Amino acid sequence: MSLIKIALRSVQHRSLASGLTALSISLGVALVVTVLVINGVISKTFRQGAQGYDLILGAKGSKLQLVLSTVFYNQEPLPPIPYRYYTLLNTSRYSAEVEAAIPIAMGDRYQGAPVIGTTPDYFKKLIRPDGKPYSFMQGESFKNSDIYGAVVGYTTAKQHRIKLGDKIRFGHNGGSRDDDLHEAFTVVGILDHTGSPNDRAVFVNLEGFYQQHEGDEGPLKVDYSLLEAEKDARLGGAEDAPVEEAEADKTEADEDETPHERRLTAVLIVTKEQDSQVAATMSQIDQMMENQPGVSIDETQLISKRQRRKVVNTAVTALQPKLEGELLEAQAVAPVQEIAAFYQDVIGNIQYILILFAVQVIIVAGIGMMVSIYNSMNERRQEIAIMRALGARRITVMSIILLESILLSLGGGILGVLIGHSLVWGLSPLIMEYSNVMVRFWDFQPAELILIPGLIAMASIVGYLPAVIAYRTDVAQSLQP
């Protein structure tokens, strides 16, 4: 009979004690698995929110607030910026760096869901977190001519049972008072599930959004002075004329003409790739990637053992200071960089604490297993002595005790993994509602692979003391009645 079968029979012989020991280990492992999976969900939610664009142009202030309000819709927006900044981004001044610029206007809510005024380009030129283009469960995006057209996110449509053709009204206080609501918008599209904060948002035509807020003041004009100034500067040979100087020259002339200039909450910017080759040591390149998560670095050629040539996407880092130097009322923020820093400083530390607590639970369970096996040694002295008398070597007996410990740990570990994933899977509807991330039973985190070797190592340490006792068992004394 093999040693594993002997160890398994011994575990079965003490089924109650073995079962309780394995259960205590499984609860600790289930806690670790739950923490890892939920942390993966939180990480995915944070990191996927800003997919599709590289920079956010918004008012000066807290960079983190700008990102959280524009990407996740869970903070109050910063003060608005002039609409003409968006117009300028579509001119030749920024044609080398800007692939697309998408305007965003916020401030209203529908039944608690954020309302975002934008253009059809939002769904045409941006991508979903999974890298695919936006698609619609029903209908399609509103067109520029659909002034009162609206697109509803998957979660919001499901919660409020919104269908195509429904009329929705929204206001600053979320729609709790009818006298605060604007005119109705018609739902022309419902988004497919994206796994991003957009699932719980409502998108409306930007022109209709403006008209809802213009009131009795009449149509608000857009100041195109920067666009005209930029064209004049290029025609006159002054290609690098400062934007703010051009704005100042037009201020007095336009003061009476544009008393109520339209403004935006932010502009989402998709940059063009600009490749440049750089030579640096491996440590310098690693430091660059750590400090600038938004920079894309790909290896092209090995220069030497200490140096290598890289291709660096510099569009994001080059455009930020250019925008902030010319558009004095705004700041440009790389959302990926801000989210990475926020996650590492806040969420990451909480994750480590939770995992530390979970590991402590497993260690306590391991100590309990050691006590259980140790206490059983007095009952098994005669059994061990008989095995020795039949020719079993000391190392064989010691190996059987260690195998018992490993079997209990692995059995509890496998049960714990199943319990952990079942628990998270059972909570998936709640997670889906609040984080817009679908969690499935088989969604494993890479860190879970450490559990198996970790449990084997712990079982070997825990089973060592009882194994040594079995190794030192005196045959003659133990066989005495």
Residues 115-140 as b or e (16 or more Cβ within 10 Å = b)? bbbbbbbbbebbebbeeeebebebbb
Q: Phi, psi at residue 46, to the nearest 5°?
A: -70, -45
Residue 469 contacts by C-beta under 8 Å, 6 or more apart in sequence?
374, 377
The better pLDDT of the pair 36, 121 is held by 121
CB 272 within 8 A of CB 93: no
CB 18 within 8 A of CB 11: yes
Q: Out of 4-13, 184-193, 237-246, 306-315, give the one with best mean pLDDT.
A: 184-193
What is the C-alpha to C-alpha distance for residues 253 and 435, in angstroms, rounded to an integer? Answer: 49
What is the C-alpha to C-alpha distance for residues 133 and 140, in angstroms, rounded to an integer? Answer: 13
CB atoms inside a 10 Å sphere around CB 278: 14
Residue type at position 357: F
**pLDDT digit string (tens) for 99-127?**
899 999 998 889 889 999 999 999 999 98
**pLDDT digit string (tens) for 137-147?**
999 999 988 89
With cut-offs at 50, 70 and 90, classify the pLDDT of residue 287. low
Residue type at position 339: I
Domain boundary assignment for the chain: 3-47+338-479, 55-271, 275-313
What is the C-alpha to C-alpha distance for residues 209 and 83, in angstroms, rounded to an integer? Answer: 14
So what's the pLDDT on residue 288?
Answer: 56
Res. 241: pLDDT tops 70:
no
CB 69 within 8 A of CB 106: yes
Angle of helix 394-426 versus helix 15-48 axis, rounded to 10: 50
Residues 339-363 as b or e (16 or more Cβ within 10 Å = b)? bbebbeeeeeeebeebbeebbebbe
Please state the rounded mean pLDDT for residues 208-226: 57
User: Strand pairing partners for 129?
Assistant: none
Please state the rounded mean pLDDT for residues 396-414: 83
CB 184 within 8 A of CB 167: yes
Q: Phi, psi at residue 101, to the nearest 5°?
A: -130, 125
So what's the pLDDT on residue 472?
Answer: 65
Closest CA to 407 of 2, 1, 12: 12
Res. 247: pLDDT tops 60:
no
With cut-offs at 50, 70 and 90, classify the pLDDT of residue 196. confident
The better pLDDT of the pair 9, 119 is held by 119
With cut-offs at 50, 70 and 90, classify the pLDDT of residue 354. confident
Residue 143 DSSP symbol: P
CB atoms inside a 10 Å sphere around CB 322: 13
Dihedral in degrees, nearest 10, Cα atoms 260, 266, 268, 271: 80
Q: Phi, psi at residue 18, to the nearest 5°?
A: -65, -40
What is the C-alpha to C-alpha distance for residues 301 and 285, in angstroms, rounded to an integer? Answer: 14
So what's the pLDDT on residue 206?
Answer: 93
> Which whole-number Å values give the CA distances from 446 to 35, 36, 37, in the listed order?
13, 9, 10
The better pLDDT of the pair 370, 421 is held by 421
Q: Which residue bears the tokens 């064209």?
A: 231
Q: How long is the chain?
A: 481
Res. 81: pLDDT tops 90:
yes
**pLDDT digit string (tens) for 420-464?**
888 888 887 777 666 656 677 777 777 788 888 888 888 888 777
Record the pTM. Answer: 0.65
So what's the pLDDT on residue 392?
Answer: 67
Strand ranges of the sheet holding 275-281, from the earlier edge strand across to the other edge: 275-281, 307-313, 297-302
With cut-offs at 50, 70 and 90, classify the pLDDT of residue 260. low
Closest CA to 246 of 224, 264, 229: 229
CB atoms inside a 10 Å sphere around CB 181: 19
